[in-house]
Amino acid sequence: MEDFFTIFSPTNPVFRTYAFWSTVLMVKMLFLGIGTGFQRKLAIFSKKEAVKSQTKAVSNVNEDIERMRRAHMNDMENILIFLPLCFAYILTNPFPWLAMTLIKAFAITRILHTLVYAFAPVPQPTRFILFLVGVFVNAYMGFSIVKAFF
Amino acid sequence: MEDFFTIFSPTNPVFRTYAFWSTVLMVKMLFLGIGTGFQRKLAIFSKKEAVKSQTKAVSNVNEDIERMRRAHMNDMENILIFLPLCFAYILTNPFPWLAMTLIKAFAITRILHTLVYAFAPVPQPTRFILFLVGVFVNAYMGFSIVKAFF
Amino acid sequence: MEDFFTIFSPTNPVFRTYAFWSTVLMVKMLFLGIGTGFQRKLAIFSKKEAVKSQTKAVSNVNEDIERMRRAHMNDMENILIFLPLCFAYILTNPFPWLAMTLIKAFAITRILHTLVYAFAPVPQPTRFILFLVGVFVNAYMGFSIVKAFF
């Protein structure tokens, strides 16, 4: 284990990769949160319209919100664990290319997971596989930390 | 970017502001969690009473729990992202007064948001504006980090 | 407050304890997330079977998922606050044995809480007491940080 100076420095490509992709994932979650809020308002509006015109246009909008909300929830369950786990994993001084590959794999599969969940549904098991990649990265990092520290 | 020593030190007012307000927000979330638990127990009790006396006193209590639970959920979506984002933002060595203003603005609007959501409902868009301040601070920090690191 | 070098080093037993138990708790949450996912699939399967054979075997499975999901949610509310709080608490340079006892108490009660909530239900207030230990540790750390920094 190297010292904090060397590891948490903008000259360390592993830390840069971590900082960049973590920030991207957090901003993504932020927009997903705003999106859920706006869609909810839209749904309330549509509901009023639908009541007026006695149609059933509401259910689809509600389903869309539900999908977005669940995508957000799944993000919280996985990304909020990735952030501290990866921070500790970097402290264990892993091979740089391995660490950077894991970080990118996690970030990209989480972004695709959101797209597939909330915006462009595709048949399963696409989403499930994307979810498993993230879980695998988290689990691998977890076991590496336990191994490195003890 | 300065080094960790200078930044994460009790003599750095930006770090002190971050540590203080982050802790306040986390303690607030903690009590919101306990509050939800206790109100739920209270609701179960009231339900039994209401069943006995055949009244409808239950619905209000349940609505109160729901508001508290949603306030808690909204906190989790926003504060749990603020903590790591602001940590990384401080690393980018921002103007101290700007960083401290953003931290205080975030913390105070989140506290007001909880009050308005869970305890003293006021007409919209009060809560929505308070929510947007927090989102804006998070988004600004996110973009600053991406810009600083790349 | 000592410097980062001394505190966040594998030779500091407090930091080792924090890193180890935090990782264990995060891996636990990870598996709880996967468990919920698999049980949900199982429930959909059972539902189809039950519809075919016109039985009511479904409700128990759904209740199990609900318990697991709520256990996961309770973990998110408490563990995700513990991670940054304890990080800041270690920075305040507490008595090592006190810090290590608090960390272990938190970790062990959270693990028991999950077992009792999701896998082996026991009569209340067992779960409630386990929950309160975690809340107490978090609250104590929060007040210690506020006291240390201001």
Here the tokens at position C85 are 């709080």
Nearest CA in chain A to B84: A83
With vertex at residue A28, the alpha carbon angle to CA A26 and CA A33, rounded to the nearest 5 degrees, is: 95
pLDDT for B87 equals: 87
Q: Would you say B113 and B127 are in contact if contact means Cβ atoms under 8 Å apart?
A: yes
pLDDT for A1 equals: 44
Rounded distance between C-alpha atoms, residue B95 and residue B103, angstroms: 12
Residues from chain A that touch B73, judged by Cβ atoms under 8 A, are none
B61-85 in b/e form (b: 16+ CB < 10 A) is beebbebbbebbbbbbbbbbbbbbb
**Poorest-pLDDT segment among A145-149, B63-67, B99-103, C102-106:** B63-67
Please report the number of interchain residue pairs, chain A to chain C, with beta-carbon separation below 8 angstroms.
57
On the question of pLDDT at B150 being above 50, the answer is yes
* C5: nearest CB among A3, A139, A146: A3
How many CB atoms neighbour CB C129 within 10 A?
13
Question: Which residue in this structure is represented by tokens 């691998």?
Answer: A140
Rounded distance between C-alpha atoms, residue B75 and residue B11, angstroms: 29
With vertex at residue A113, the alpha carbon angle to CA A10 and CA A31, rounded to the nearest 5 degrees, is: 65
Block means of pLDDT (10 residues each) for chain A, 150 residues, are 64 84 89 75 60 54 75 86 89 87 92 83 78 89 84
Question: What interface predicted TM-score (ipTM) does this complex get?
Answer: 0.74
Amino acid making up residue B71: A
Here the tokens at position A71 are 């995508």
pLDDT tens digits, one per residue of B86-101: 988 888 888 888 999 9
For residue A108, give the 3-state DSSP assignment: helix
Q: What is the mean pLDDT of chain B?
A: 79
Confidence of residue C109 (pLDDT cuts 50, 70, 90): very high
Please report the number of interchain residue pairs, chain A to chain B, with beta-carbon separation below 8 angstroms.
58
pLDDT tens digits, one per residue of C46-101: 555 555 555 554 555 677 777 788 888 888 888 999 998 998 888 888 888 899 99
pLDDT for C3 equals: 62
How many CB atoms neighbour CB B19 within 10 A?
23
Q: Mutating which of C92, C145, C147 best tests the B interface, going by the most B Cβ atoms within 10 A? A: C145
**Which sign, positive or negative, has the C-alpha torsion B106, C89, C126, C43?**
positive
Of all residues in chain B, the percent with pLDDT exceeding 70 is 77
pLDDT for A79 equals: 92
Cα A96 from chain centre:
22
Reported as half-sphere exposure (CB side, CA atoms, 13 A), residue C52 has a value of 6
State mean pLDDT over B16-36: 86
| Inter-chain touch A19–B80, beta carbons under 8 Å | no
* B145: nearest CB among A23, A80, A83: A23
* A83: nearest CB among B3, B84, B146: B84
Contacts of A113 (CB under 8 A, 6+ apart): A71, A74, A75, A127, A130, A131, A134
Confidence of residue C106 (pLDDT cuts 50, 70, 90): very high
| Inter-chain touch A149–C24, beta carbons under 8 Å | no
B100 in contact with chain A, both atoms CB, cutoff 8 A:
no
Rounded distance between C-alpha atoms, residue C82 and residue B26, angstroms: 9
pLDDT for C19 equals: 86
How many CB atoms neighbour CB A9 within 10 A?
14
- Nearest C-alpha of chain B: how many angstroms from C55? 30
Rounded distance between C-alpha atoms, residue C75 and residue C27, angstroms: 12
C125 in contact with chain A, both atoms CB, cutoff 8 A:
no
Q: Neighbours of B (≥3 Cβ pairs closer than 8 A)?
A: A, C
Amino acid making up residue C17: T
How many CB atoms neighbour CB C89 within 10 A?
26
Question: Which residue in this structure is represented by tokens 């920030």?
Answer: A23
**Which sign, positive or negative, has the C-alpha torsion A85, A26, A28, C29?**
positive
Question: Which residue in this structure is represented by tokens 């879980």?
Answer: A135
pLDDT for A120 equals: 75
Note the helical H segments in chain B. Answer: 4-7, 13-53, 58-91, 96-114, 126-149
Nearest Cα to Cα of residue A21 among A103, A135, A131: A103
pLDDT for C93 equals: 82
* C23: nearest CB among A1, A80, A142: A142
Residue B87 vs residues A58, B126, C47, C76: alpha-carbon distances, Å: 42, 28, 46, 20
